């Protein structure tokens, strides 16, 4: 791909004077034939015109963080229209080169600021604890894999850049790509082969597939030049703890054991109002399953209450199959493995996703 073709794909607007060289350096990394960049999805996305960019003049000013938040929010609104290989790249104005530890702290401060400026609730299906294997940084209700590159990286050239840089990839970019799929295995093979050629150190032990119970996504966001795992607790913890608000309910939402309460009854309006929080923000869902609709075994990161309005459902928990009918209320503690099958008349029910 020639430079002229890149310009036709990316007619960048409002680029500050310092941004042109930074973007040129980035382009050379993405399009190098001699040293193919390891991020296969990023390279393909760049060639397809699917990436979007923002240039941030300051790492510390509140106005700069508000600009980043606004641009990221705007990107997420159109991301799916940009194709499967899309990413959002934030370039920050070059400064005197810092240490990797300083850049790491700076990176987590940016994510914390984005979280502070997020106008939406944390996605209900993403755990709030970064030490949970299903946790992912989220903004505007969108889980995203995040990667930081810095000028201080030397041995790990795949994380080196001309300036401090953060890339955001929506989680859905990786749908269908996992360690269990042919595509995923081929993808990993190509990436690892390129990393061997690109970096002076072996692939970091923290690199793994999302959803693997041994994986911690946050450890993959910022990688040091060696393969030591030094940070014991995710720096994002504090940001989450500060923003969490107390939510109270009419019902007991802190239950720890599975149970079925029979014959509770109630109309749709009555059930919804009873299961919504009386203080704080929350929501319920109304779901209709067709006859014999099956939901394979799965878990939820939060406690949930299912209130059956009509029809019936059989739910399997701990090897036991329990039949439930209209008016029954099911209490499902978080991380409970369960499967269900709707009855011959289907099932209409209310789901309350309970916050702690």
Residue 168 · residue 45 · CB < 8 Å: no
Residue ranges in the chain assigned as alpha helix (H): 3-9, 19-31, 40-48, 62-78, 100-117, 182-198, 217-221, 237-243, 268-275
> What pLDDT score does 283 carry?
87
Q: Are residues 97 and 234 in the same domain?
A: yes
**Residue 241: exposed, middle, or buried by beta-carbon count in 10 A (0-12, 13-18, 19+)?**
exposed
> What pLDDT score does 234 carry?
80
**Residue 147: exposed, middle, or buried by beta-carbon count in 10 A (0-12, 13-18, 19+)?**
buried
Q: Are residues 71 and 172 in the same domain?
A: yes
pLDDT above 90 covers what percent of the chain?
A: 58
**Which of 199, 217, 243 is a domain's end point?**
243
Phi-psi region of 242 (alpha: psi -120 to 50; beta: other; left: phi over 0): alpha
Q: Are residues 201 and 265 in the same domain?
A: no
- Per residue in 52-84, pLDDT (tens digit) is 999 999 988 889 999 999 999 999 999 999 999
Q: Are residues 47 and 110 in the same domain?
A: yes
Confidence of residue 232 (pLDDT cuts 50, 70, 90): low
Residue 248 lies in a domain: no
Higher pLDDT, 4 or 62: 62
> What pLDDT score does 225 carry?
84
> What pLDDT score does 41 carry?
83
pLDDT above 70 covers what percent of the chain?
A: 94
- Per residue in 305-343, pLDDT (tens digit) is 999 999 999 999 999 999 999 999 999 999 999 999 999
- Per residue in 97-128, pLDDT (tens digit) is 999 999 999 999 999 999 989 988 888 888 88
CATH number of the domain within which 285 lies: 2.60.120.10
Residue 250 lies in a domain: no
- Please give the average per-residue pLDDT across 203-219, as a whole number: 80
Residue 314 lies in a domain: yes
HSE, CB side, 13 Å, CA atoms: give it for residue 32. 16
How many Å apart are CA 149 and CA 78, to the nearest integer?
A: 25
Is the predicted pLDDT of residue 152 greater than 80, yes or no? yes
- Please give the average per-residue pLDDT across 270-275, as a whole number: 94
Is the predicted pLDDT of residue 238 greater than 60, yes or no? no
Q: Are residues 230 and 301 in the same domain?
A: no
Q: Are residues 288 and 187 in the same domain?
A: no
> Given the DSSP bridges, would you call strands 294-298 and 304-317 parallel, antiparallel or unpaired?
unpaired
Q: Are residues 209 and 122 in the same domain?
A: yes
Cα torsion at 231, 92, 29, 151 (round to 10°)?
-50
How many Å apart are CA 44 and CA 191, to the nearest integer?
A: 13
Each residue of 260-288: b (16+ CB within 10 Å) or e? beeeeebeeeebbebbebeeeebebeeee
* Full residue range of the structural domain in which residue 323 is found: 259-353
Residue 251 lies in a domain: no
Phi, psi of 172 (to 5 degrees): -70, -15
- Per residue in 20-31, pLDDT (tens digit) is 999 999 999 889
Q: Are residues 209 and 102 in the same domain?
A: yes
> What pLDDT score does 187 carry?
74
Residue 93 lies in a domain: yes
DSSP codes joined into one string, 227-244 = S-----S-TTHHHHHHH-
- Please give the average per-residue pLDDT across 234-252, as a whole number: 67
Q: Are residues 121 and 78 in the same domain?
A: yes
Q: Are residues 170 and 230 in the same domain?
A: yes
> What pLDDT score does 87 carry?
95
> What pLDDT score does 316 carry?
96
Across the chain, mean pLDDT equals 88
Q: Are residues 10 and 132 in the same domain?
A: yes
> What pLDDT score does 4 carry?
47
Looking at the structure of the chain, the number of domains it has is 2
Higher pLDDT, 239 or 63: 63
Q: Are residues 190 and 264 in the same domain?
A: no
Is the predicted pLDDT of residue 2 greater than 70, yes or no? no
- Please give the average per-residue pLDDT across 236-258, as a whole number: 71
Confidence of residue 11 (pLDDT cuts 50, 70, 90): confident
**Which of 243, 278, 298 is a domain's end point?**
243
> What pLDDT score does 243 carry?
56
């Amino acid at each position: 791909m020639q430079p002229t073709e890149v310009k036709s794909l990316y007619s960048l607007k409002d680029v500050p004077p310092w941004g042109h060289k930074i973007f040129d350096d980035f382009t050379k990394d993405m399009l190098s034939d001699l040293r193919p960049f390891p991020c296969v999805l990023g390279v393909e996305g760049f060639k397809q015109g699917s990436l979007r960019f923002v240039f941030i003049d300051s790492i510390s000013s509140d106005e700069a963080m508000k600009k980043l938040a606004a641009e990221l929010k705007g990107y997420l609104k159109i991301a799916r229209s940009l194709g499967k290989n899309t990413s959002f790249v934030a370039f920050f104005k070059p400064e005197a080169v810092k240490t990797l530890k300083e850049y790491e702290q700076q990176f987590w401060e940016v994510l914390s600021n984005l979280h502070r400026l997020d106008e939406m609730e944390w996605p209900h299906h993403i755990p709030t604890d970064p030490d949970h294997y299903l946790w992912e940084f989220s903004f505007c209700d969108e889980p995203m894999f995040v990667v930081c590159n810095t000028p201080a990286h030397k041995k790990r050239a795949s994380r080196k850049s001309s300036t401090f840089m953060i890339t955001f990839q929506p989680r859905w970019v990786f749908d269908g790509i996992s360690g269990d799929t042919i595509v995923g295995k081929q993808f990993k093979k190509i990436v690892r082969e390129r990393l061997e050629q690109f970096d002076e150190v072996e692939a970091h032990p923290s690199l793994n597939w999302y959803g693997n119970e041994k994986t911690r996504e946050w450890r993959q966001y910022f990688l040091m030049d060696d393969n030591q795992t030094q940070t014991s607790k995710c720096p994002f913890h504090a940001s989450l703890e500060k923003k969490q608000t107390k939510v109270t309910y009419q019902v007991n939402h802190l239950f720890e054991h599975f149970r079925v309460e029979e014959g509770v009854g109630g109309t749709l309006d009555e059930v919804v109002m009873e299961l919504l929080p009386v203080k704080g923000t929350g929501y319920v869902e109304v779901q209709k399953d067709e006859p014999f609709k099956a939901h394979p075994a799965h878990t939820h990161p939060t406690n949930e209450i299912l209130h059956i309005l009509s029809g019936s459902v059989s739910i399997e928990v701990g090897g036991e199959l329990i039949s439930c009918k209209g008016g029954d209320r099911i209490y499902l503690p978080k991380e409970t493995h369960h499967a269900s099958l709707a009855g011959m008349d289907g099932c209409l029910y209310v789901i309350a996703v309970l916050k702690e």
